[in-house]
Amino acid sequence: MTAGVPGGAAGVRAGGPGRTDTERAARLRRLALATLDANWEHDHTVPSRTLYPHQWSWDSAFIAVGLVHARPDRAWRELRTLFAAQWADGRVPHIVFNPALRAGAYFPGPEFWDSARADGAPAAATSGIVQPPVHAPAAWLVHRRAPSEASVAALRWLYPRLVAQQRYLTERRDAGGGGLAAIVHPWESGLDNSPAWDAPLAAVPADEAVMRAYRRHDTAHADAAHRPTDLDYARYVALVTAYRAGRYQDEALLGRHPFLVECPLVNAALGVSEQALARIATVVGADPGPHRDRAARITQALVERLFDPVTGTFRPRDVRADRLVPARTVLGLMPLILPDLPPAQVRAVLAEACSPRFGLAARMDRPLPTHDRTAPDFEPLRYWRGPSWLNTSWLLWRGLRGHRRADLAAGLRESMLDLVDAAGCHEYFHPDTGAGLGSPAFSWTAALVLDALAEG
């Protein structure tokens, strides 16, 4: 297995020549940069040339965090390109389509989303849904890493747009009325087929047979056994169709939309974004106070609505059914990114992370999975139902550092770097063997490795 090198002396790694920390770092940096350079597409980075050939929202935030370590201009360009496609209501679309690509380069493509018919959509063709708002913290990290006149100018341009993004999510998406944003589609969580969505998705009427009318692009490029099923896709399509029928408007969602869920990751990101905006505000001459107040309110709402004191875990709330979903996934660990998470919840998240469910340790013997390893529906090969992904590991790593758990942060970082060193910049990894799965040249894996290397 690749993760962790138990017993290795400081600076010397198991495995002989080429295995010192310095050599590993140089090798990883070369690989990561080559991956990001190969995926650069005139004004943005594609997540993967084969599977995801357009621009994706939260990918671009992670990519910017990595790019700043080598190509700071491109880090800002990445964010500017994405926000140039922001809608008038403040939503940042989860995909910005590249008009130069042939129809069918991705499913569902621009013709399916039909954003041009929606009020307030930008000139560029986009999807109509969002992804976790990790852009304000990303912009702050990019600036802090390489502060310059250009970075201040970029923050000035981005600040009102980031504020509008927050306003959209907190005002228009508070379908549950408790101060949190609800997602209208599993794709909005970024963890598409996580077991977290099984219960609320089961209530979405869909017929697998509808998929006969479409050509899935993903299964032409990746093993179908690793991807969401056709029934999952039928439900994804049904949810887009329902939201599109209302022209992507958010009024009265509770009465008409079949999937409304408060996700711990989306809402933790919302809180961290207010913290980042408070810092950005001080650079651009705005008032940080309202951002700090909003951050505190979001953290409080997250604890009140998504923390279950009986199991000591955070879980998504199905707004329509008004209950927490049963699955214990990696999403439950994500509130650790909140610097003001109360001590009782910090302890609970650490206990869950260090349990056999997720195996976090100062010396990890296996990478962090995306689902509870002990659950009967844990699937080591299928996308977000078990495999290890760099972005969820990186978010937890940042959270551990913020809460002064340097020992656990070091163990997780080691595991992430070893995983990529052994398998390459894959999209995701087998949570037992560390084998690379999905796209072999995936941008956020490369970017987050660059960040982990720089901040060791």
Of 47, 195, 335, 438, the one binding ligand 9WN (CB under 6 A) is: 47
Number of residues that bind ligand 9WN (CB under 6 A): 10
Write down the least CB distance from residue 283 to ligand 9WN, Å. Answer: 28
Binding piece for ligand 9WN, criterion CB under 6 A, among 51-59, 73-81, 238-246, 351-359: 51-59
Based on C-alpha coordinates, what's the Rg of the chain? 21
Residue in 393, 325, 402, 311 with CA at minimum distance from that of residue 360? 393
Among this protein's residues, is 365 annotated catalytic?
no
Among this protein's residues, is 427 annotated catalytic?
yes
Catalytic residue among 192, 218, 318, 379: 192
d(CA 367, CA 387): 9
Under a CB-based contact definition with an 8 Å cutoff, are residues 226 and 383 in contact? yes
CA–CA–CA angle 184, 234, 100 (5° rounding): 80
Catalytic residue among 414, 418, 427, 451: 427
Residue in 193, 217, 191, 6 with CA at minimum distance from that of residue 106? 217
CA–CA–CA angle 447, 24, 369 (5° rounding): 55
Beta strands in 266-377 (DSSP E): 307-308, 313-314, 317-318, 323-324
Of 110, 133, 190, 431, the one binding ligand 9WN (CB under 6 A) is: 190
Residue 187, interface with ligand 9WN (CB under 6 A)? yes
Of 56, 83, 197, 314, the one binding ligand 9WN (CB under 6 A) is: 56
Residue 230, interface with ligand 9WN (CB under 6 A)? no
In the complex with ligand 9WN, which residue's Cβ is closer, 3 or 46?
Answer: 46
Write down the least CB distance from residue 55 to ligand 9WN, Å. Answer: 9
Count CA within 13 A, CB hemisphere, residue 89. 20
Residue 83, interface with ligand 9WN (CB under 6 A)? no
Helix, strand, or coil here: 262?
strand
d(CA 20, CA 251): 57
Write down the least CB distance from residue 59 to ligand 9WN, Å. Answer: 5
Write down the least CB distance from residue 384 to ligand 9WN, Å. Answer: 6
Binding piece for ligand 9WN, criterion CB under 6 A, among 10-18, 50-58, 332-340, 360-368: 50-58
Under a CB-based contact definition with an 8 Å cutoff, are residues 418 and 453 in contact? no
- By annotation, the residues acting in catalysis are 192, 427
Which spans of this chain sit near ligand 9WN (rule: CB under 6 A)?
A: 47, 52, 56, 58-59, 94, 187, 190, 192, 218
